Every structure is written in C-alpha cells, then in structure tokens.
Amino acid sequence: MSDKPATSWKATVLTLFPAMFPGALGMSLLGKALDKELWSLEVRDIRGHGLGKHRTVDDTPAGGGPGMVMRADVAAAAIDAVERVGRPLIYLTPRGVPLTQARVKALAEGPGAVLLCGRFEGLDERVIAARNVEEVSIGDFVLAGGEIAAQALIEATVRLLPGVLGDAASPAEESFSVGLLEYPQFTRPQSFEGRDIPQVLTNGNHREITKWRHAEAERLTRVRRPDLWTLYEKDKG
Ligand code: SAM
C-alpha cells in the first residue's frame, strides 16, 4: 500500500520569476508537508508564452501613461496551458477582493488553486473578463509583483490542510476563525522585566481561563479592528 495521501492540494503558480519559488513555502512545516506530498506546487514561467525572439510579455498601456502592461494574449496562453480541474483561477492584485480567513478556509477545502502573479502596471483587463479570473488582494498596499502575495495565500491555505500543522497549533482558536483577534499569549518565565503572567492563567481554573481569553479577544478586536467588531456584534445578534 502507498503511504501517499489519497488527495493532494495543488497550487499552480504562473510567474515571470519562477526562481522565487518555493521560497518561504519550502521551509518549516510547509516545506515538510511539501516533501510528504500533503500538497504540491507547480511553477510555470509565463515567459515561455512570450512573443518573438525576445519572448516579449508586456507592452505600453493603451491611452498612454507610465510603465508596461502584461499582454492579454500572453497571459491567456499561460492560463490555457494549465489543467485546472475545478481549481479557481486567482489573479493577485491590489484591486482585488481582500483575502480573508474565510476565503482561505474555503480554498483549503477545495482541490487547490491556480495563481497568476502580475508584474509591471498589471494585467490587460480583457484577459480577466475572458477567463473569468477571481481578483484577490493581500492588503491595501502595493507590492512590486504578485509572487509574495501568492506565497502568502498558499501559506495561509496549506497550513489548514489535514496533517500539515500536526500538534504544533490549532487553527480553531486563531485570529479571525471566530470573527475575533486572538487573545494575548504568555509562556515562561513567570516574570519578565517586572511583568508577570496574568494570575488567571496560572491558577489551573479552565473556566476562568476561557472567560478571560474571550474577554481579551473581544477587547482587542473592539480597540484594534472596529470593522471586525461591528460584524461580530451583528453576527451575535
Ligand atoms: N498598477 C497596479 C495598481 O495600482 O493596482 C499595481 C501593480 S503592482 C506594481 C504589480 C503586481 O504586483 C500586480 O499586478 C499584482 O500581481 C501584484 N501586487 C501588488 N500589490 C498587491 C497586493 N496588495 N495584493 C496582491 N497582489 C499585489
């Protein structure tokens, strides 16, 4: 009998910089899970679909303006060469829908994802419409390319796959999983530069500990993330 898992979550990355992969994804628990084939990574060079002797992938923006734009025909050829079999096609872009833990969880429950990494000023709009591309942002800031964003999305997703974290952590209580930020964590030593671990965490009363952690999670969310707090309160009814 094979000791390989029956199913393997698969990420395909379309990029102009294949050497950036696996990058951070090859380290620590994710790297070990990659070796164990709990997930797989396929990296494809968009340049392979470039045009002419110079394998050109970009051109000047229609209507003028700074920078270059990735050509629709080149991006479409790179996309069409991938066997997607039920996997969503995601373009990482600051204009996209912000990535959330809920979307990450849904991705982890599926067969994988195909991730298109932009460069330059971005991607010709027509290929986004023509290939029904989902646009996802990892935050309200602008990176130089989609590769780090793709790695962030893959890392957040793969760590939720069965067997990847082992006993190292429980995603169930983490920030965002119940609509709140996580409560503060402490470990030894008992006293650090005059600051002690809150007494409630050291008395072994699990009911009190759970109550304190929940109150802290609510307090932090209310203060730091009013947007999440409003949603949480609405959900509570
Ligand atoms: N001109 C684009 C704009 O203003 O929206 C920014 C292009 S950025 C310099 C180049 C590429 O980096 C994008 O095509 C995208 O793939 C990636 N990128 C940059 N910021 C990102 C973010 N916050 N989330 C996801 N991808 C991002």
pLDDT in tens, 59-110: 999 999 999 999 999 999 999 999 999 999 999 999 999 999 999 999 999 9
The reply to whether ligand 1 has any atom less than 6 angstroms from the CB of 70 is no
Residues 185 and 141 in one domain: no
- Judged against a pLDDT cut of 60, whether residue 3 lies above it is answered with no
Q: Can you tell me which residue has the tokens 């872009």?
A: 93
The CA distance from 236 to 211, in Å, is 17
Residue 91's pLDDT is 98
In the chain, the number of structural domains is 2
* Residue type present at position 33: A
Q: Which domain holds residue 213?
A: 174-236
Is residue 4 in a domain? no
Residue 1's pLDDT is 44
Candidate of 92, 133, 147 to mutate for ligand 1, largest count of ligand atoms within 8 Å of Cβ: 92
Residues 153 and 180 in one domain: no
145-185 pLDDT per residue, tens? 999 999 999 999 999 999 999 865 567 778 898 899 999 99
* Span from the CA of 85 to the centroid of ligand 1 (angstroms): 27
Residue 134's beta-bridge partner residues?
90
Is residue 220 in a domain? yes
> Which protein residue's CA is at the shortest distance from atom 1 of ligand 1?
121
Residues 231 and 189 in one domain: yes
Residues 70 and 149 in one domain: yes
The reply to whether ligand 1 has any atom less than 6 angstroms from the CB of 19 is no
What is the token pair recorded at 198? 């809150």
Residues 121 and 62 in one domain: yes
Residue that is last in its domain, among 158, 186, 212: 158
* Span from the CA of 157 to the centroid of ligand 1 (angstroms): 20
- Helical H runs in the chain? 28-35, 72-80, 101-108, 125-130, 147-158, 206-224, 226-236
Q: How far is CA 224 from the centre of its chain?
A: 22
The reply to whether ligand 1 has any atom less than 6 angstroms from the CB of 122 is yes
- The DSSP output letter for 236 is H
Residues 124 and 189 in one domain: no
Is residue 163 in a domain? no
Say if pTM beats, i.e. exceeds, 0.85.
yes
Is residue 2 in a domain? no
